[in-house]
Amino acid sequence: MAYRIAIPAAGESFSAEPGETLLAAAERAGVRLPHDCQAGGCGTCRIRLLDGAVTYDEFPFGLTPEEEAEGYALACQGVPAGDLVIAVPSVADDLPEPRRHAATVTAVESACDGVTRLTLALLDGVPFGYWAGQYLNIRLEDGEPRSFSMASAPARGVLDVHVRRLPGGRFTDGLLPRLKPGDRLEVDLPLGSFVYREADYRPLLMVATGTGIAPVRAILDALKDDPDAPPVDLYWGMRTEADLYLDAELRSWEAAFAEFRYVPVLSRGGPLWRGRRGYVQDAVAADFDDLSEHAIYLCGSPAMIAEAKRAFLDRGASVQHIYAEGFTTAARPAIAADSVLHGGWAASALRSGNGA
C-alpha cells in the first residue's frame, strides 16, 4: 500500500511505495526537492517532518541526532513509515531551473598546490542565472556528473570554480590536468540550495574547509558593499600557509563590510605562523560561548560539518539556522561518510588537515 506524502505549504502531495525513499518518490511524481549527493552525506535534502516518521537503513551521516529530535529528516535516505506531512525549505521554490549547457574553458590556473581555478564561458547564448552559493555539474565523457560550486557572485557573468585534486579522481586528476583554453565541456546549472537566506537576517558565521570556501566566497562577494549586510565572521580551515590562496582577498574584504572578521585556521601551520592552529570547528567553538543568535553556513568536508554541527548545537545554535553543504565525492559518497565514523579515508582527510 502506497503512503501519501503531503507538502501543505506548497499545496502538493505525492505517493511513496513501501521501501521507496522520500526523494525517489518525489522525483517519480515530478515534485522538486532540493538534493545533492543522494548518499546522506551533504545534508541538502533536509526536510522537516510535521507528521509521521521515516526509517533509515543506516542513520545518515549528514543528519545529527539533534536535528532528528527536532523533526528533521534527509529525503534521500528516509523511507516513509506511513503517511507523512512535510515542510520543504522555502528557498527551493525560487531557485532557477537547471539546464544543460555547452561551455568552453577560458582559463585553467593553479591557485595553490592541489587546487585549480577553472573558468568557463557558456557557448549556447542562453541567458543563465544562478544564486551565489549554487554549483554546477561538469559531465564526464560518459555523462557522469562531477559537482563544483561557483566561486563568484552571479553579477560577474563568469563561471569560475575552485577544484581540489583528488588522487585517482576521474575529473580532478584525470581530465582537469589535460584541459586548456578552448576545450569544450558540458555542464548543468544552476544546482543546489546552499544560498544566502536573506529572510534569516542574523549575524553570519561562515565556516569552510578547503575549496568549501568557493560558494562562501560567492555569497560574500554578492553581499559585500551592501550597506544592509549583516556582521560576518568567516573561518577558513586549511593545512598550511601556502594553501591560503584567497587570503589577501578575504583580508581586503574587511573594508567592504561594515563588520567583517576573517580567521584563517591552519592544521599544519609552519613555525612562523602567528595565526590560529588546529581544526576550524574547534577554533570557532573556542571563540563563541553562545551561537544562539547566529545564522551558520558550513561548507567543505562532511566530517568538519558533522563535528561543527555537534559543537555549535552545544553552544546554543539552532538547527533551523544552520545551512550546510558537504563536498562529498561522486565516486564514493557513502564510503566517505562511513569512513568518518570508522576512522578511514574521510576521517584521516580531516585529521591530517583542514582540507575539504
Distance, CA of 349 to CA of 341 (rounded, Å): 13
Which residues inside 119-138 make contact with ligand FAD, applying CB under 6 A? 135
Residue 42 or residue 122: which is nearer to ligand FAD going by CB?
42
Q: Among all chains, which residue has been given the C-alpha cell 528533521?
A: 72
166 binds ligand FAD, rule: CB under 6 A: yes
> Which x/- pattern, by CB under 6 A, does the window 319-348 give for ligand FAD?
------x-xxxxxx--x-------------
C-alpha 287: how far from chain center:
23
State the nearest-atom distance from the C-beta of 308 to ligand FAD, in Å: 17
Residue nearest ligand FAD by beta-carbon distance: 169
162 binds ligand FAD, rule: CB under 6 A: yes
Q: Which three cell numbers stand for residue 18?
A: 513501501
Identify which of 270, 315, 267 has the alpha carbon closest to the alpha carbon of residue 293. 315
- 48, 170, 268, 315: which one binds ligand FAD (CB under 6 A): 170
Identify which of 127, 148, 128 has the alpha carbon closest to the alpha carbon of residue 136. 148
Encode burial over 25-46: b for 16+ CB neighbours within 10 A, e otherwise. Answer: bbeeeebebbbbbbbbbbbbbb
Residue 215 or residue 230: which is nearer to ligand FAD going by CB?
215
Distance, CA of 137 to CA of 141 (rounded, Å): 13
Total site size for ligand FAD, rule CB under 6 A: 31
AA identity, residue 323: Y
Q: If residue 305 lies in a helix (H) or strand (E), which one and from where to where?
A: helix 302-314
Which residues inside 23-82 make contact with ligand FAD, applying CB under 6 A? 36-37, 42
Residue 210 or residue 230: which is nearer to ligand FAD going by CB?
210
- 35, 46, 101, 146: which one binds ligand FAD (CB under 6 A): 146
- 122, 163, 187, 218: which one binds ligand FAD (CB under 6 A): 163
Q: Which three cell numbers stand for residue 80?
A: 516513509
Contact residues for ligand FAD (CB under 6 A)?
36-37, 42, 135, 146-149, 161-164, 166-173, 192, 211, 214, 325, 327-332, 335
